[in-house]
């Protein structure tokens, strides 16, 4: 989040009601994109923020299929095409014997894809972010629930937001990034 507002809540419920209230305030108060920062995945936040469906499963499927194909083709090329060895008349291209390695490479590729796509989609690694400069934001990984409001085209109506959030029991509303200073 480059710039905008950060709002601190003490409970997951506070965070959820905060998101709902801000949605109601709407674009006329400058509210555009929101983000939540929580110590553990809080139920219902995804839906409230209307996050798009994760594409990790699709990538994993592709990764797994590529892995299986790679495993099988390598074995087939090595043992049946490039260097066939006749051992007691056994067929050089022997599907049952190739199953295990095909399975293992499938799992390997799928697992690595899963790991990498989660990182890439989440935009990690990214060691520094303006939110880290905010006093007290450290507790976002411990026991506090932060709501981020990104500055969109229209300026944020800070006073109205502050008022609304205070009525919901927000602990603080602070500016972040270029809005800080």
Tell me how far CA of residue 146 lies from CA of 47, 90, 127, 165, in angstroms: 16, 65, 19, 12
Q: What is the DSSP letter of 43?
A: T
Size of the site for other proteins (CB under 8 A): 62
Q: How far is CA 21 from CA 32, 130, 166, in A?
A: 13, 25, 12
**Smallest distance, other proteins to C-beta of residue 137, A:** 8
Does 57 interact with other proteins (rule: CB under 8 A)? Answer: yes
Among residues 38 and 160, whose Cβ is nearest to other proteins?
Answer: 38
Work out whether 180 is an interface residue with other proteins (CB under 8 A): no
For other proteins, which stretch binds (CB under 8 A), given 22-30, 74-82, 151-159, 163-171?
74-82
Examine residue 181 and tell whether it contacts other proteins (CB under 8 A).
no
Output helix, strand, coil percentages for the chain, rounded to the nearest 5. 55, 15, 30
- Separation of alpha carbons 53 and 77, rounded Å: 39
Q: How far is the CB of 110 from other proteins (least distance, A)?
A: 6
| Parallel, antiparallel or unpaired: strands 172-177 and 3-9 | antiparallel
According to the binding rule CB under 8 A, does residue 38 interact with other proteins? Answer: yes
Q: Which of residues 2-31 bind other proteins (CB under 8 A)?
A: 12
Is residue 76 helix, strand or coil? helix
Stretch that binds other proteins, among 20-28, 71-79, 159-167, 172-180 (CB under 8 A): 71-79
Our finding on whether 112 is near other proteins (CB under 8 A) is yes
Residue 94, interface with other proteins (CB under 8 A)?
yes
The SS3 of residue 57 is: helix
């Amino acid at each position: 989040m480059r710039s905008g507002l950060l709002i601190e809540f003490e409970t997951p419920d506070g965070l959820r009601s905060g998101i709902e209230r801000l949605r109601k305030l709407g674009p006329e108060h400058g509210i555009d994109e929101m983000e939540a920062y929580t110590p553990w995945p809080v139920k219902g936040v995804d839906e409230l923020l209307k996050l798009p469906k994760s594409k990790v499963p699709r990538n994993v499927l592709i990764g797994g299929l590529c892995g299986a194909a790679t495993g099988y083709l390598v074995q087939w090329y090595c043992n049946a095409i490039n260097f066939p060895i006749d051992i007691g008349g056994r067929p050089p291209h022997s599907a049952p014997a190739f199953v295990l390695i095909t399975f293992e490479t499938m799992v390997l590729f799928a697992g690595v894809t899963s790991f990498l796509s989660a990182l890439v989609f989440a935009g990690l690694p990214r060691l520094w972010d303006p939110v880290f400069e905010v006093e007290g934001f450290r507790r976002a990984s411990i026991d506090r629930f932060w709501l981020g409001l990104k500055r969109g085209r229209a300026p944020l109506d800070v006073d109205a937001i502050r008022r609304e959030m205070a009525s919901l029991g927000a602990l603080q509303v602070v500016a972040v990034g270029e809005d800080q200073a």
